Amino acid sequence: MEQFIQQFDCDVTKMHDVSHHMLQTMKSGLAGKGGSLMMIPSFTDTPSGNESGVFLAVDFGGTNLRCLLIKTELNTIRNKVQRSMVLDPKIPTGEILFSTIASFIVEFLEENKSFLEPRPEVLPVGFTFSFPIQQTSIASGKLIMWTKEFVASGVVGKDVVELLHAELAKRKYEWVKVVALCNDTVGTLCASTTEHPTAKIGVILGTGSNACYQERMEAITKINQEGASSSSSSSSEAASKKMIINMEWGGYDGFPSTPEDDEVNHMTRKQGQQRLEKMVSGRYLPMLVRVCMNKCIRCGWILNCFDQEKIGVWDKNEELSLIEIGKVEHDRSPNMDMARSFIIRFCEDKSLDKNAIPLHEVVLIRSLFHAIVVRSARYAAVAISTLIQHIVTTGEQLEELTVAIDGSVYHKHIGYKEELHASVDKCCKSLMMGPTPPEVHVVGTQDGSGLGAAIIAAVQVAH
């Protein structure tokens, strides 16, 4: 079993091949030549800092749907109210999904009427849609595919802003208008720049995983070819222009995987896609733990003390959560009672005696969980460091660079942050960062995806 656990080991200082391959894949994505990184232009740059007004942010991410009403003054948030609800990825159709979102918005605005007094003619909305969207402008974009096991039919290929506007119109809420559509990574980056002006990268490590960064316009050759940047600006002006790129790095397929990762991949809807996301994010890590536990049980490495039928398929009902995995990982009590109860809870027969499990097996299980989570943090760190390398070797000289990170895995999983920060540090030192490498800061941000959408909406209105 020790050997089995070792396959999740990852030395971030020895991942140069992966970094190199990822850089090539980024370039290919920017040139529109395919590969596993979509590199989607966001049609926005980081905000300039003097946007004011009242805005609605609608944040549709992996687990929750959130609405926030925000009053900004010179880019500072003066006041906000918010509400959220859980969204089931199994919602079967786009019609139900968008009607749920629109009804939620209407209820929320009804509840917070006083915030809007007098009612504006148009309430500008920043709509965060945390799935791969082919943006055609700042306020329109078509869903390329669902990720994170969402299934709603009839949405892929459609403009999600139009779908939302249609549902709002049915409810006589035409005055609520999306002026900016953005990915959660883009929102996170834009929300962080007020506090961290050197922020260049936004990362989500939550139910799903992804990153965005500020790219030079001239490097986004797929836009240049399509003539979208054909303005009358001079070439030096064009060279200084920037746009945020949504990488959709969850799709990156260059990291080493194990047979258990392949098994998880086969259990999911998007087989062969979102390979990095399936090794890193909160939607998939519990699946990987389940697959590994069942493999260890089948091989007789653990829980030999019980009849196989009494164990059954461990975590058959797929109830395991990442938070619980974290608790086991950090159970340092002498007899590891919490971890023992946890192991039995996911067996078929819940009356099995937890104290029959030899202590060394419980310790091995804890090591397995830890190895899986640490690998997630290290893969994310390698991806972040590679992105930093790209920015500093292709762009202007930077003295400092900030990476803004949000998401439940990053914030809630005990020890994850520390592992990630230490690994980014190590990995950056081992990669070529030019003659004068910048000082890198990795900072956690909260609420970024919602606030960022409102800020981007504010920028649009100001324009």
Is 132 near ligand BGC (CB under 6 A)? yes
The region of 44-52, 204-212, 227-235, 287-295 touching ligand BGC under the rule CB under 6 A is 204-212
Is 128 near ligand BGC (CB under 6 A)? no
What does DSSP assign to residue 113? G
Is 210 near ligand BGC (CB under 6 A)? yes
Closest CA to 438 of 370, 391, 369, 379: 391
Is 382 near ligand BGC (CB under 6 A)? no
CB 340 within 8 A of CB 362: yes
Q: Please give the single-letter amino acid code of residue 128.
A: T
Among 36, 147, 376, 460, contact with ligand BGC (rule: CB under 6 A) = 147
Tally Cβ neighbours within 10 Å of residue 13. Answer: 12
Among 41, 202, 250, 286, contact with ligand BGC (rule: CB under 6 A) = 250
Pick between residue 19 and residue 130 the one whose CB is nearest to ligand BGC: 130
Pick between residue 45 and residue 184 the one whose CB is nearest to ligand BGC: 184
What does DSSP assign to residue 158? S
Pick between residue 184 and residue 447 the one whose CB is nearest to ligand BGC: 184
What does DSSP assign to residue 32? T
Task: Please report how close the Cβ of residue 144 comes to ligand BGC at its closest, in angstroms.
Answer: 9
Among 141, 208, 254, 326, contact with ligand BGC (rule: CB under 6 A) = 208
Position of minimal CB gap to ligand BGC: 208
Q: How many CA atoms lie within 13 A of 319 on its CB side?
A: 11
Please give the size of the binding site for ligand BGC, defined by CB under 6 A. 18
Residue 61: alpha-carbon gap to chain centroid: 9
Q: How many CA atoms lie within 13 A of 316 on its CB side?
A: 10
Among 167, 248, 331, 361, contact with ligand BGC (rule: CB under 6 A) = 248
Residues 457, 436: Cα–Cα separation, whole Å: 36
CB within 8 A of 283, min separation 6: which ones? Answer: 62, 148, 149, 207, 208, 277
252-281 footprint of ligand BGC as x/- string (CB under 6 A): -------------------------x----
Residues 329, 454: Cα–Cα separation, whole Å: 38
Residues 411, 23: Cα–Cα separation, whole Å: 28
Tally Cβ neighbours within 10 Å of residue 184. Answer: 29
Interface of this chain with ligand BGC, residues 313 to 372, rule: CB under 6 A: none
The region of 206-214, 304-312, 331-339, 439-447 touching ligand BGC under the rule CB under 6 A is 206-214
Among 143, 203, 204, 420, contact with ligand BGC (rule: CB under 6 A) = 204
The region of 51-59, 71-79, 119-127, 179-187 touching ligand BGC under the rule CB under 6 A is 179-187
Angle between helix axes 359-394 and 285-298 (nearest 10 degrees) is 140
5-44 footprint of ligand BGC as x/- string (CB under 6 A): ----------------------------------------
CB 358 within 8 A of CB 335: no
Residues 212, 267: Cα–Cα separation, whole Å: 28
- Report helix, strand and coil shares of the chain as percent, to nearest 5: 45, 20, 35
Pick between residue 72 and residue 209 the one whose CB is nearest to ligand BGC: 209
**Phi/psi at 171 (5° precision):** -100, 10
Task: Please report how close the Cβ of residue 164 comes to ligand BGC at its closest, in angstroms.
Answer: 17
Is 148 near ligand BGC (CB under 6 A)? yes
Task: Please report how close the Cβ of residue 254 comes to ligand BGC at its closest, in angstroms.
Answer: 17
Among 159, 167, 184, 447, contact with ligand BGC (rule: CB under 6 A) = 184
Among 130, 135, 385, 408, contact with ligand BGC (rule: CB under 6 A) = 130
Residues 267, 317: Cα–Cα separation, whole Å: 14
By CB under 6 A, name the binding residues for ligand BGC: 61-62, 130-132, 147-148, 183-185, 204, 206, 208-210, 248, 250, 277
